[in-house]
């Protein structure tokens, strides 16, 4: 009997340790996720544009496939890579993040230049002649690539916010952050892309006049909102990409640009002391974005004249 009681005591002690560990994981995951909050907002702003132009019944399947790709990015690639680099090659993290930032700048600048060099009608005609299934695959692949860069930054920021501990605790916390952030981002994206359907349902089926009026208002507002979100998503790519490169330059010992942007932002904030914090943040983000579009514009000819032809030759050799 005494042996059984001792065993139960051991089980209870193990359960307490496990519960304490779960509490620690939850607390650290929450703290780390909070540090990456700005990037989460950017990710949510970028993604809805990839569902634009598809039938309503394809929107949620597209979001779901991008979400699955995001989970794969975070858990199967970025998590083990982040832990490995953090332990054995921390010097490589900054250059790799800067390369990701360049890709975001390139994609953002390409969207901006495409907007002004090609009319919206030309873009619609081009997409209308594409095979819908092929176009969907292209959009999803592009979304997952963009998500990879944003997720890399999210996971890096989260890893830096985790107190130093053993690799298993860090891995578990990072996995919790990755799953939680993915659910938050793509749950929000799903709500955004289906808001017009909800508004239509309310407008047609609502029993109260105010419900029907609200539904009609949602239906009328959503095209404008989606257009605004596309603009915000493109701006987010340029801002995040530019800021990643600028911070990377500072880490590598070239901090003059970061310091200049910081000083200019502080000076602008002093001109409006009643909203100095907002002005400083906006000015810094704007200058990061301007730098981002300059970097992206510089990469576009390099991509079209060097990288793309080289990749095509490599693909041909593989084939």
Residue pLDDT, tens place only, 60-85: 888 899 999 999 999 999 999 988 98
Least confident piece of the model among 29-38, 244-253, 291-300 = 29-38
Q: What is the mean pLDDT of residues 212-229?
A: 88
pLDDT for position 13: 41
pLDDT for position 118: 58
Residue closest to 105 by CA, chosen among 290, 230, 282 = 290
User: Using 50, 70 and 90 to split pLDDT, how confident is the model at 8?
Assistant: very low
pLDDT for position 173: 80
Q: Are 213 and 73 in contact (CB under 8 A)?
A: no
Q: What is the mean pLDDT of residues 2-22?
A: 41
For residues 12 and 145, what is the distance between their CA atoms, to the nearest angstrom?
Answer: 46
Cα–Cα distance list, 303 to 220, 223, 258, 307 (Å): 40, 33, 27, 5
pLDDT for position 35: 45
User: Using 50, 70 and 90 to split pLDDT, how confident is the model at 311?
Assistant: low
pLDDT for position 45: 65
pLDDT for position 258: 94
Rounded (5°) CA angle 285-283-115: 55
For residues 265 and 90, what is the distance between their CA atoms, to the nearest angstrom?
Answer: 30
User: Using 50, 70 and 90 to split pLDDT, how confident is the model at 188?
Assistant: confident
pLDDT for position 12: 39
Least confident piece of the model among 24-28, 88-92, 314-318 = 24-28
Asked whether residue 16 carries a pLDDT value surpassing 90, the answer given is no
What contacts 181, CB < 8 A, 6 or more positions away? 33, 36, 40, 43, 74, 154
pTM, 2 dp: 0.73
Asked whether residue 22 carries a pLDDT value surpassing 60, the answer given is no
Residue pLDDT, tens place only, 31-40: 444 445 555 6
**CA of residue 193 relative to chain centroid, distance:** 17
Question: In this structure, is the dihedral angle defined by the CA atoms of residues 218, 221, 223 and 225, taken in order, positive or negative?
Answer: negative
Least confident piece of the model among 131-140, 182-191, 257-266 = 131-140
pLDDT for position 318: 53
Q: What percent of the chain has pLDDT over 70?
A: 76
Residue pLDDT, tens place only, 147-184: 888 888 788 877 777 777 678 877 888 888 888 888 88
Q: Mean pLDDT over all residues of the chain?
A: 78
For residues 219 and 203, what is the distance between their CA atoms, to the nearest angstrom?
Answer: 9
Q: Are 290 and 241 in contact (CB under 8 A)?
A: no
For residues 111 and 122, what is the distance between their CA atoms, to the nearest angstrom?
Answer: 14
For residues 40 and 235, what is the distance between their CA atoms, to the nearest angstrom?
Answer: 14
Least confident piece of the model among 40-49, 104-113, 249-258, 274-283 = 40-49
Q: Are 292 and 110 in contact (CB under 8 A)?
A: no
């Amino acid at each position: 009997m005494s042996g059984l009681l001792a065993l139960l005591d051991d089980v209870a002690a193990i359960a307490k340790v496990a519960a304490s560990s779960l509490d620690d994981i939850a607390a650290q995951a929450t703290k780390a996720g909070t540090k990456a909050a700005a990037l989460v907002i950017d990710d949510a702003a970028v993604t809805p544009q990839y569902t634009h132009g598809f039938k309503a019944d394809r929107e949620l399947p597209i979001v779901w496939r991008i979400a699955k790709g995001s989970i794969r990015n975070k858990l199967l690639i970025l998590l083990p890579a982040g832990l490995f680099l953090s332990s054995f090659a921390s010097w490589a993290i900054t250059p790799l993040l800067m390369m990701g930032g360049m890709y975001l700048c390139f994609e953002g600048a390409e969207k901006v230049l495409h907007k002004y060099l090609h009319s919206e009608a030309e873009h619609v005609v081009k997409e209308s002649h594409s095979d819908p299934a092929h176009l969907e695959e292209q959009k999803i692949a592009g979304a997952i690539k963009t998500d990879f860069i944003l997720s890399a930054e999210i996971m890096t920021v989260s890893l830096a916010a985790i107190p130093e501990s053993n690799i298993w605790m860090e891995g578990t916390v990072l996995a919790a952050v990755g799953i939680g952030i993915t659910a938050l981002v793509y749950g929000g994206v799903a709500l955004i892309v289906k808001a017009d359907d909800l508004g239509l349902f309310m407008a047609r089926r609502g029993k109260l006049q105010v419900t029907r009026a609200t539904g009609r208002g949602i239906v009328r507002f959503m095209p404008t909102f989606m257009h605004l979100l596309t603009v915000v998503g493109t701006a987010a790519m340029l801002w995040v990409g530019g800021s990643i490169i600028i911070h990377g330059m500072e880490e590598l010992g070239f901090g003059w640009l970061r310091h200049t942007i910081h000083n200019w932002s502080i000076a602008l904030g002093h001109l409006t002391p009643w909203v100095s914090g907002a002005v400083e943040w906006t000015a810094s983000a704007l200058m990061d974005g301007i730098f981002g579009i300059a970097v992206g514009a510089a990469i576009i000819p390099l991509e079209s004249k060097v990288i793309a032809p080289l990749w095509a030759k490599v693909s041909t050799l593989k084939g």
